[in-house]
């Protein structure tokens, strides 16, 4: 079957992700992460590309990038191909290293831009790799802290300084709750949905003056409203809403 054409962003901003084949930890070792970062930097030269955020996890990576759509494909094609060659030689293996082609989503608004940066930097925390985002070495947050861009574009530093008073405020922004769902590997998307659903349940309980979120679930009318809001805010199907509700219910009352 022919592949679906990538959607073009009106801003040329894209959130990009690729994962290892069969969920393999292709960035398990520090030198593998460092090699991938070197390749990102190597092929940035002489290309009209701006990177605003990145994180290299053990099984996948995220990049927030501004680039023409055609150039995006050629840039990542050469980076991923060179890393695959390095990885196969290093581990004495053959075959694909990355699962399918990379995935991308358009970043069209300033709000989504900043929330996407936060989500990328918080990936290691959400995956329980570190307790605080600054404790993770292989992300762009360190570059924002020092104000010295290596992989990220100098414009990224300028944008952050125009939006936030200082780095302390920018770091505090990373701890705020968000309900947007971002492109990620399926397991992480599911975690995002569950967290967002639980957060919404707690908010609904507070707004209605209930002592416990359990009271929302126990009320036929309130849980109907909750499901409607869940489906609308998370932009998911009715069937997905029901599955998510059952998971939330089991978290709250254990049934």
Q: Read off the pLDDT of residues 197-211 as tens digits, 9 standing for 90 and up.
A: 777 777 777 677 777
CA distances from 143 to 78, 94, 123, 138, 251 (A): 24, 35, 16, 10, 38
Query: Poorest-confidence range of 177-186, 191-200, 223-232?
Result: 177-186
Q: What is residue 223's predicted lDDT score, i.e. its pLDDT?
A: 83
Q: Which two tokens stand for residue 27?
A: 């960035």
Q: What is residue 77's predicted lDDT score, i.e. its pLDDT?
A: 92
pLDDT at 181 over 70: no
Q: Give mean pLDDT, residues 172-189.
A: 69
Contact (Cβ atoms closer than 8 angstroms) between residue 241 and residue 231:
yes
CA distances from 202 to 57, 153, 205, 249 (A): 30, 39, 5, 12
What whole-number distance in Å separates Cα of residue 130 and Cα of residue 228? Answer: 35
Task: Please list the residues that pair with 20 across neighbouring strands.
Answer: 98
What whole-number distance in Å separates Cα of residue 209 and Cα of residue 216? Answer: 10
C-alpha count within 13 angstroms, C-beta hemisphere, residue 226: 30
What whole-number distance in Å separates Cα of residue 101 and Cα of residue 162? Answer: 35
Contact (Cβ atoms closer than 8 angstroms) between residue 26 and residue 59:
yes
Residue 3 pLDDT grade (very low, low, confident, very high; cuts 50, 70, 90): low
- pLDDT tens per residue, range 82-123: 999 999 998 888 888 988 788 899 999 898 899 899 989 999
Q: What is residue 254's predicted lDDT score, i.e. its pLDDT?
A: 62
Q: What pTM was computed for the model?
A: 0.73
pLDDT at 1 over 50: no
What whole-number distance in Å separates Cα of residue 121 and Cα of residue 134? Answer: 9
Contact (Cβ atoms closer than 8 angstroms) between residue 73 and residue 30:
no
Contact (Cβ atoms closer than 8 angstroms) between residue 80 and residue 18:
yes
Q: State the helix-helix crossing angle for 186-207 and 110-126, rounded to 10 degrees.
A: 110
Strands of 172-231 (E only): list them. Answer: none
Average pLDDT, the chain: 86
Q: Give mean pLDDT, residues 59-74.
A: 94
Identify which of 79, 71, 85 has the alpha carbon closest to the alpha carbon of residue 38: 79
What whole-number distance in Å separates Cα of residue 136 and Cα of residue 125? Answer: 9
pLDDT at 169 over 70: yes
Residue 14 pLDDT grade (very low, low, confident, very high; cuts 50, 70, 90): very high
What whole-number distance in Å separates Cα of residue 216 and Cα of residue 95? Answer: 51
pLDDT at 179 over 70: no
Contact (Cβ atoms closer than 8 angstroms) between residue 155 and residue 50:
yes
Q: Which two tokens stand for residue 250?
A: 């089991």
Query: Poorest-confidence range of 38-47, 77-86, 154-163, 235-244?
Result: 235-244
pLDDT at 80 over 90: yes
Q: Please give the share of the chain, as a percent, with pLDDT higher than 90.
A: 46
* Long-range CB pairs of 166-170, under 8 A, 24+ apart, other chains included: 170/144
């Amino acid at each position: 079957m022919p592949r679906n054409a990538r959607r073009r962003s009106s801003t040329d901003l894209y959130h990009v992700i690729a994962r290892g084949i069969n969920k393999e930890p292709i960035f398990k070792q520090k030198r593998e992460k460092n090699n991938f970062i070197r390749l990102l930097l190597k092929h940035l030269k002489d290309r009209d590309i701006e990177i605003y955020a990145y994180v290299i996890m053990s099984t996948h990576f995220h990049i927030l990038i501004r680039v023409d759509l055609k150039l995006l494909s050629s840039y990542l094609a050469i980076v991923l191909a060179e890393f695959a060659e390095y990885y196969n030689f290093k581990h004495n293996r053959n075959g694909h290293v990355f699962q399918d082609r990379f995935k991308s989503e358009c970043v069209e608004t300033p709000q989504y831009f900043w929330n996407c940066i936060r989500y990328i930097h918080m990936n290691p925390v959400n995956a329980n790799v570190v307790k605080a985002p600054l404790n993770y070495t292989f992300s762009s947050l360190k570059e924002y802290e020092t104000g010295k861009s290596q992989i990220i574009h100098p414009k990224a530093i300028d944008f952050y300084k125009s939006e936030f008073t200082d780095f302390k405020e920018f770091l505090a922004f990373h701890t705020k709750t968000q309900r947007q769902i971002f492109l990620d590997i399926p397991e992480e998307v599911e975690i995002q949905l569950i967290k967002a659903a639980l957060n919404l349940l707690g908010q609904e309980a507070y707004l209605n003056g209930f002592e416990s979120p359990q009271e929302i679930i126990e009320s036929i009318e309130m849980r109907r409203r909750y499901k409607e809001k869940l489906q609308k805010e998370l932009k998911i199907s009715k069937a997905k809403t029901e599955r998510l509700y059952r998971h939330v219910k089991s978290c709250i009352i254990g049934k």
